Structure 1
Amino acid sequence: MKTIAQIAAELQGYDPQALSAADVNQFLDQLVEPVTGTETLPLFSALGRVLAEDVVSPISVPPHDNSAMDGYAFAGDQLAPGQPLTLRVVGTALAGKAWAGAVGAGECVKIMTGAIMPAGLDTVVPQEFTTAGGDGQITIAADVLKTGDNRRFKGEDIMQGRVALARGERLTPAALGLVASLGLPTVRVFRRLRVAYFSTGDEILSLGEPPREGAVYDSNRYTVFGLLTRMGVEVIDLGVVRDEPALLEAAFRQAAQQADAIITSGGVSVGEADHTRTMMKQLGDVAFWRIAMRPGRPMAVGRIAGSKNQDKTAPSAYPSSADSYQNDTDPSHNGAVLFGLPGNPVAVMVTFLAFVRPALLRMMGSTHSAPPLLRAISTEAMRKKPGRTEYQRGRVTTAPDGTLQVCTTGNQGSGVLSSMVQANGLIVLHHGQGNVAVGDAVDVMVFDGVI
């Protein structure tokens, strides 16, 4: 496990007072490590989890050549260009069992979607492309299909012995269906990541407290809770911690003992009149950054040391039928990775989406952690100086011609939380990018499924 100093030494041009967004993610790539503990879960409990091993198909899907349409199966070599084809129907093949008869020249079998293709037949004509004649005959119009049409091959989806899903894949609804189609009732996944979170500062009010001058209600705690819950991690909520050394030390020690990662908001800016930075330095190996970005410039990252004698089997916040399955825990615990975020609500969300979420996904074992970016046409001009990355709150819509277009949500202040509610993505104006004119294409990090 590399120290902060070792990682910094390997990062070309590292400057903690002017770190680019790309350098932040490169640094975090080296800082975080995937959990090693795994568990076996039934499919109904595995949604959103990350595979700890390849899923190898025990069968071929489909298991036989079969029909993709309701129609008539026949040997396609009887088709001739420009000529209709008349065939006699000699039987019916239903889905779920093989048709055992024989089919000769000039003959066909009525077949249902999914039914096994009878031996020697390779083409299916949809019923609507035929006309019925006397004596159980059908006629296929000229040039409406070619040999092999509407036939699904054995193993066309997945062949027996092949990897159906790779280690590191997150189990989406489609992936659950794929695993079920292989006849597999369980999957081996990495254990659930545990993330502790608390807000800091004497100016923070918890819900239920009466308003007081100079104080604000803690929105960050609920925003981060929602972001973490959407990721499927186990959230350890430590509430609001006052700016007192003893309370901060207790919160950090408890978080490092129980969690794989710690997220705080507030107390990381230079000159803030609190003890959070001091306690981070005292208890861990921590770097304090000024990132070349807007919003969200100050950030702290590192590790907080954990207790060697801690309980490694903290109860799950997501009880399920998986409780009866064997669970493995990591053999050792080296403390928790720390993400110290700014205090402003929008800055918290932006830094979480741009940096923390990808890092947590890597800790979960996922091989796909970089947020996808879409290209959209800007409907307004935006001022931007090269030398920093800006994340503008945006609203993506579809233009009449089908192209994606985007505009900002107005006031881009880092405390305007309502702008994040109105937005469905972040307009990402990259480090070297300058002003944006109307009609320019820009990158957008979409929120769907994240916020």
Structure 2
Amino acid sequence: MRTVDEHRAAVAALLKPTPIETRPLAEALGLVLAEELRAAVSLPPFDNSAMDGYAVRAADVADATEAAPVRLPVTTDIPAGRTDHPTLAPGTAHRIMTGAPMPDGADAIVQVEHTDGGPPGGEVRIDRAVAPGQHLRRAGEDVSAGELVLPAGVDLGAARIGLAAAVGVAEVRVHRPARVLVLSTGSELVPPGKPLRHGQIYESNGVMLASAAREAGAVVEQLRFVPDDVPEFLAVLGERLGPGHEDGPVDLVLTSGGVSAGAYEVVKDALAKRGVEFIRVAMQPGGPQGAGRLTRLAGPASVKTQTADYPAVVTLPGNPVSSWVSFEVFVRPALRAAMGHPDSARPVVWASLGEELRSPVGKRQFRRGTYDPSSNTVRTVGGPGSHLLSALARANCLLILPEETERHEVGNRVEVWLL
């Protein structure tokens, strides 16, 4: 029996870093930057107005008050996007919009709210003085040309993509998303929406694991309803993983079900002699696990031919909570690390236990829970059973009960993974 940490290391070792590729900036959301970005231009690239109003020389309106306003002729309009270089003559004003370039000679902006809104060709009445530099955005005050704006290794969220675009970046070098193939096995499985016969259940693991892998940042393909038949299982897998498949290579095959000690454990029977090791892990739920790299799909199982194109395989148990918990513990961090994410683990806090709990000595228990940040306390949702999916849907965390302790008192501090 492996420890949880040993199996996490085994799974992580299977998933190599994904290749680096160039993508248009607009297609890089959620990916990890592989090379640093430096600004090609300053930000802002020119002095511009922070307000809708009037560009002036501050000295010309130094005495303006509501009781004694200053009147200036408005000689031109400067909308955002104007590309010439108008010059502001002393004793005049230019009407200007937010983001428009400052005219030469102007050193301040009067907000339109402190004027009567006079038009170009007329006069504007200004009833408030402004200081030099007021309501101006200076060139380079945010970013200077050549400055490092994003280091390698950061996740590209919306704000970082916006910054990259603002300094003129059109393409970025990023870590390619991992490609994951999800298979659910079981002759009892029926697609949701179809009538159930006695002894059948709706298939949920496949869509759940596919969603979890997408949430982790992977590109996912799902093959559903592989029956409990070894030749058919190998045929389905071999067809997808064969050379030249139109959907390209796969980095990870993720299965659920068929890995325990029953008579119809199709995944275990099919892959045990094809590079996948099946073991038990000292955890609850999720004891039966498998991991490895495929060595062969067709021909006698005893003949192994290591093929570089064959993907890593992680086989998860079939009970839905066991399957999801196993994904969180073993697969999610390995996937995110392979794609270069610096935050491969869930956020962790240590919280006070709000109830007394018991867990089996020798096994690390992962309980569904609700974490209250206001009191820094955590309580379980539902029991420890691996079939209680509704409790999982209500949980906002996993609380971790260590292997060496059976009884956990109210107030004990426990590790909590925030979901």
Distance 1:62 1:392 in 2: 51
Question: Are residues 1:445 and 2:413 paired?
Answer: no
Letter in 1 for 2:285: P
The Cα offsets for residues 150-202 of structure 1, whole Å up to 9 and x where unpaired, read as 44332344443345445555544444444443445544555553222222345
Contact 1:391 1:429 in 2 (8 A): yes
Match for residue 197 of structure 2? 211
1:427 to 361, 382, 398: 398
Residue type of the alignment partner of 2:279: F
Give the TM-score taking structure 2 as reference length.
Answer: 0.71
Alignment of 1:13-52 (within 5 A): 16-20=1-5, 24-36=7-19, 38=21, 40-41=23-24, 43=26, 45-51=27-33
Question: Match of 1:36, as an amino acid?
Answer: P
Partner of 2:273, secondary structure, is helix
Does residue 381 of structure 1 match 2:352?
no
Contact 1:41 1:189 in 2 (8 A): no
The structure-2 alpha-carbon separation of the partners of 1:162 and 1:410, relative to structure 1 and needing over 3 Å to count, comes to same
Q: Which amino acid aligns with 2:333?
A: P
Name which of structure 1's ranges 383-392 and 93-102 shifts more when overlaid on structure 2: 383-392
Query: 2:222: which partner in 1?
Result: 237
**Whole-angstrom CA distance in 2 between matches of 1:73 and 1:93:** 9
Cα separation, 2, equivalents of 1:182 and 1:430:
48
Partner of 1:346: 321
Q: Equivalent residue for 2:342?
A: 368
Provide closer, same or farther for how the CA distance between residues 89 and 286 of structure 1 changes in structure 2, counting only shifts above 3 A: farther
Q: Deviations for 1:8-63, whole angstroms, at most 9, x for unmatched residues?
A: xxxxxxxx52234xx544444433212226354472x5444454544444333321
Partner of 1:117: 102
Structure 2: which 5+ residue stretches go unaligned? 117-122, 243-248, 299-306
Counterpart Cα distance in 2 of 1:167 and 1:306: 37
1:13 corresponding residue in structure 2: none
Give, in angstroms, the shift of residue 283 of structure 1.
0.6
Q: How does 1:311-322 map to 2 (within 5 A)?
A: none
Cα–Cα, structure 1 residues 88 and 306, in superposed 2: closer, same or farther, change >3 Å? Answer: farther
TM-score, normalised by the number of residues in structure 1: 0.67
The Cα offsets for residues 102-150 of structure 1, whole Å up to 9 and x where unpaired, read as 466x98766432122345666556555x578xx9564547xxx987564
Q: Name the structure 2 match of 1:62.
A: 44
Within the alignment, does 1:297 sit opposite 2:282 as a pair?
Answer: no
Cα distance in 2 for residues equivalent to 1:229 and 1:360 = 10
Q: What does residue 367 of structure 2 align with?
A: 392
- How many angstroms apart in 1 are the aligned matches of 2:373 and 2:111? 36
1:284 Cα offset (Å) = 0.8
Task: State how far apart, in whole Å, the 2-side matches of 1:239 and 1:256 are.
Answer: 15
* Contact map agreement 2:34 2:153 (CA 8 A) in 1: yes
Residue 347 of structure 1, CA deviation: 1.6
1:260 correspondence with 2:251:
yes
In the superposition, relative to structure 1, how do residues 223 and 107 fare at CA in structure 2: closer, same or farther (>3 Å)? same
What is the one-letter code of the residue matched to 2:80?
A: A
Tell me which of 207, 216, 222 is aligned to 2:207: 222
Unaligned runs of 5+ in 1: 1-15, 309-331, 447-451
What is the percentage of aligned positions where both structures have the same residue?
29
Cα deviation, 1:405-439, whole Å, max 9, x if unaligned, reads 7654334422111223333x223336489847479
Q: Aligned pair 1:409/2:381, yes or no?
A: yes
How many angstroms does 1:244 deviate by?
Answer: 3.8
Larger Rg: 2
Counterparts in 2 of 1:125 and 1:355: CA distance versus 1, 3 Å: farther
Q: 2:272 is paired with a residue of what secondary structure?
A: helix
Structure 2 vs 1, CA of residues 440 and 191 (structure 1 numbering), >3 Å: closer, same or farther?
closer
